[in-house]
């Protein structure tokens, strides 16, 4: 009787699918666990944030400084000041810089109030204007009081007013920028060939007087001449031109680098 020939066993080429399926299953389980964990942490963080908010709203937690209360939070959903994530890459550093900018503005507010009170009469007479800008505190000295037309010599009658301004400048350590401005009327005399020269010369004259007579540290000061390129009012009226002829003393925020500020504060378009 003939024996039956045994056929070779068929090789299974699809066994890799088993390992692949196991891998996909484990990977899916891993992401499910990660998602669940993140939701749990998020809920806990939100609960803590709400607890703090409730404590501040109801009891104004004893001993907690306002600065601390201001920055509490920082959860995933919280878009308040405390959340550095909302600032993108380097968020913590950006948030710190923004907070520093705010502190600088607040720092000059008492100085503005004090100087406004000290120069109340000069402001009422239109000799001086005081304003707060993003770059700092601006004290505008009008030409009619401090200079003769077409001249860079500072009137001695204005020294008393400048002394009050200098007292404030010496009381703060911020860098200073002195800016000369003119109207749009062309000038050409024996001393100045253009408004550019006049505006720069007035800035230099003011810097020298503040440093020599009133002892303001010259190392804190920078000068700029803008001619008629930074008008406060239209140059087509007598009143507007008078308003534009001025020297601005800018008490810069500490966080403002002077070269960058010179560019950032570059005056508006020509009228």
At 218-241, the pLDDT tens digits run 999 999 999 999 999 999 999 999
pLDDT tens readout for residues 124-144: 999 999 999 988 999 999 999
Cβ partners under 8 Å of residue 53, min gap 6:
72, 73
Region of poorest pLDDT, from 22-31, 48-57, 171-180 = 48-57
Angle at which helix 159-171 crosses helix 91-118, to 10 degrees, equals: 150
Mean pLDDT of 259-265: 45
Query: What residue has token string 């692949």?
Result: 20
- DSSP assignment of 236-258, as one string? TSHHHHHHHSEEEEEEE-TT--H
Mean pLDDT of 24-38: 77
pLDDT tens readout for residues 36-76: 766 655 556 566 556 555 655 555 444 444 444 444 444 44
Give the fold, CATH level 3, of 100-264: 60s Ribosomal Protein L30; Chain: A; (3.30.1330)
Q: Where are the alpha helices (DSSP H) in 88-225?
A: 91-118, 120-124, 143-146, 159-171, 195-212
pLDDT at 193 over 60: yes
Domain assignments of the chain as residue spans, ordered by start: 37-87, 100-264
**H or E stretch at 43:** helix 16-58
């Amino acid at each position: 009787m003939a024996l039956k020939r045994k056929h070779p066993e068929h090789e299974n080429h699809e066994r890799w699918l088993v390992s692949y399926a196991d891998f996909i299953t484990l990977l899916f389980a891993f992401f499910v666990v990660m998602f669940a964990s993140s939701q749990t942490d998020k809920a806990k963080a939100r609960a803590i944030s709400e607890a703090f908010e409730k404590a501040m709203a109801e009891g104004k937690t004893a001993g907690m400084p306002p600065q601390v209360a201001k920055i509490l939070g920082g959860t995933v959903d919280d878009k308040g000041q405390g959340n550095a994530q909302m600032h993108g890459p380097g968020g913590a550093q950006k948030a710190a810089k923004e907070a520093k900018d705010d502190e600088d503005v607040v720092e000059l507010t008492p100085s503005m109030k004090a100087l406004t009170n000290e120069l109340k009469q000069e402001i009422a007479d239109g000799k001086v204007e005081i304003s707060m800008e993003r770059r700092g505190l601006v004290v505008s000295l009008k030409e009619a009081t401090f200079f003769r037309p077409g001249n860079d010599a500072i009137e001695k009658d204005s020294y008393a007013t400048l002394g009050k301004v200098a007292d404030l400048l010496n009381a703060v350590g911020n860098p200073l920028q002195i800016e000369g401005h003119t109207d749009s009327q062309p000038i050409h005399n024996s001393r100045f060939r253009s408004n550019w020269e006049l505006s720069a010369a007035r800035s230099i004259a003011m810097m020298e007087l503040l440093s020599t007579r009133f002892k303001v540290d010259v190392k804190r000061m920078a000068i700029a001449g803008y001619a008629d390129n930074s008008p406060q009012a239209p140059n087509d009226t007598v009143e507007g031109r008078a308003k534009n002829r001025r020297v601005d003393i800018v008490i810069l925020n500490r966080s403002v680098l002077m070269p960058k500020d010179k560019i950032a504060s570059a005056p508006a378009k020509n009228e």
